[in-house]
Amino acid sequence: MITVEHLTKRYGPVAAVDDVSFTVEPGHVTGFLGPNGAGKSTTMRMICGLTPATSGSARVLGLPFTALANPGRRVGVLLDAGSQHSGRTGREVLTLGALMTGVDRRRIDTTLDLVGLTEREAARRVGQYSLGMRQRLGLASALLGDPEVLILDEPANGLDPAGIRWMRDLLSDFASRGGTVLLSSHLLREMEAVADRIVVIGRGRVVAEGHKDDLLRQAGAFARSTDDAALALALRQGGVGVEELATGGLAVEAEPLDVGRAAAAAGVVLAELRAADSRGLEDLFLELTADDARQQTRMEVPA
Ligand SMILES: Nc1ncnc2c1ncn2[C@@H]1O[C@H](COP(=O)(O)OP(=O)(O)OP(=O)(O)O)[C@@H](O)[C@H]1O
């Protein structure tokens, strides 16, 4: 369990993190989602005791991170995969980690296996690693102490789609065994694939929090019918916002059930009706973080 209460970080007149409160429950993968500069890394660094808070507090497993005895055995942290010593081999990095935390060295092979780094890759210097391999090694370091909590800043950076799926399975499995996972990303699709709960941050403030499915529900519905114009008219007459999509179909600001009812009342035959996909969530995300000038550009969503 991670508890963040009224956490604030000011750099001069700038509030990088502004009165942020949320909890990260065991048994779930919680995504910390926000555009560049929203305050994700600063919040995570404060949770881990690496950046002092201006005010507010953060607790991990009931204590401030710095008050945990041998935190490496209880909390796995990956904040910057790029900062690993480039002159050491992957195995050396893990061996040092094991020595520092008192972990049985046999755990190194188990962990390498867990993150999918081969014997040969582990014998190479980190300086020769791709970004994806560094992320895997960073995850291995985080998992080495068999922790109860994982705090991961942009762990999917540099992973290919198969790597993202692998990470989703690994983190879901960790959470299903009662683990607590907090991971950040500025990529909505990535977050959608990996997290089941989401905390959205924009300009240093939490702007939405909840189960991914509930957030998706708020994002509306997609409908395609035999007469989209008639359906759009019926919905608008009922006070519901509708956008006729260039690619066909309607993006509707209502739940699928309400769209179905409106279609039935208007005598329109539905060909497709579902909760909005990530496009809907993306729109919601942009709306929630729209205050941020950086969000004049669209959120980065890979094709
Ligand atoms: N040491 C610092 N000194 C001054 N300003 C800082 C410092 N660290 C962060 N900031 C500012 O705080 C804000 C939040 O930064 P932070 O790195 O936490 O965002 P982020 O959500 O992690 O972004 P990204 O997705 O780009 O990593 C930004 O405006 C950043 O410029």
ipTM entry = 0.95
Q: Is 52 exposed, middle or buried (0-12, 13-18, 19+ CB in 10 A)?
A: exposed
Nearest C-alpha neighbor of 93 from the set 66, 68, 117: 117
C-alpha 126/C-alpha 148 separation (Å) is 27
Handedness of CA 125, 128, 133, 139 (dihedral sign): positive
User: b/e for 130-154, b at 16 or more Cβ within 10 A?
Assistant: eebbbbbbbbbbbbbbebbbbbbbb
Ligand 1 pocket check for 34: Cβ under 6 Å? yes
Question: Taking the CB of residue 257, how many other CB atoms lie within 10 A of it?
Answer: 10
pLDDT of residue 268: 95
The Cα 123–Cα 94 span in angstroms is 11
45 pocket-lining for ligand 1 (C-beta < 6 Å): no
Ligand 1 pocket, 33 CB below 6 A? no
Distance CA 107, CA 143 (A): 10
**For a pocket test of ligand 1, which of 41, 44, 78, 157 has the largest count of ligand atoms closer than 8 A to its C-beta?**
41
- Rounded to whole angstroms, the Cα distance separating 30 from 209 reads 10
Q: Whose CA is nearest to atom 16 of ligand 1?
A: 39
Tens-level pLDDT at each residue, the chain (303 residues): 999 999 999 999 999 999 999 999 999 999 999 888 899 999 999 999 999 999 999 999 999 999 999 898 999 999 986 777 788 999 999 999 999 999 998 999 999 999 999 999 999 999 999 988 999 999 999 999 999 999 999 998 888 888 888 899 999 999 999 999 999 998 777 788 889 999 999 889 998 898 887 877 777 888 999 999 999 999 999 999 998 888 889 989 898 899 999 999 999 999 999 887 656 667 767 777 766 534 433 333 333
Sorted by where each begins, the domain ranges of the chain are 2-215, 220-275
CATH superfamily, region 2-215? P-loop containing nucleotide triphosphate hydrolases (3.40.50.300)
Distance from Cα 15 to the centre of ligand 1, integer Å: 10
Whose C-alpha lies nearest to ligand 1, atom 18?
Answer: 39
Q: Check residue 274 and give its pLDDT.
A: 87
DSSP code for 226: S
pLDDT at 79: 93
Q: How far does residue 64's CA lie from ligand 1's centre (Å)? A: 22
CA of residue 23 to ligand 1 center, whole Å:
21
Nearest residue by C-alpha to atom 24 in ligand 1: 36
Give 95: exposed, middle or buried? Use CB within 10 Å, 0-12, 13-18, 19+.
middle
CA angle 80, 85, 90 (to 5 degrees): 95
d(CA 104, CA 145) in angstroms, rounded, equals: 9
Cα(149) to centroid of ligand 1, in Å?
Answer: 24
**Quick check: do 2-215 and 220-275 share a fold?**
no
Pocket flag, ligand 1, residue 16 (CB < 6 Å): yes
The ligand 1 atom at the shortest distance from the C-alpha of residue 204 is 14
Ligand 1 pocket check for 186: Cβ under 6 Å: yes
Q: Helix axis angle, 161-176 relative to 131-143, nearest 10°?
A: 10
Which residue's CA is the nearest one to ligand 1's atom 23? 37
- Per DSSP, helices labelled H in the chain are 40-47, 90-101, 106-115, 119-122, 131-143, 161-176, 188-194, 212-218, 228-237, 256-266, 278-288
Question: Would you say the CB of residue 202 lies under 6 angstroms from ligand 1?
Answer: no
Q: How far is CA 234 from each of CA 223, 245, 267, 274, 294, rounded to the nearest angstrom? A: 13, 17, 10, 18, 37
DSSP result, 36-84: TTSSHHHHHHHHTTSS--SEEEEEETTB-GGGSSSGGGTEEEES-GGGS
The reply to whether the predicted model has a pTM over 0.95 is no
Task: Name the residue of 9, 10, 11 whose CB sits within 8 Å of the most ligand 1 atoms, as the mutation to test its pocket.
Answer: 11
Fold of 220-275: Alpha-Beta Plaits (3.30.70)
User: Which atom of ligand 1 is found nearest the CA of 51?
Assistant: 1
Which DSSP letter does residue 89 get? B
Regarding the beta carbon of 38 and ligand 1, being less than 6 Å apart is answered: yes
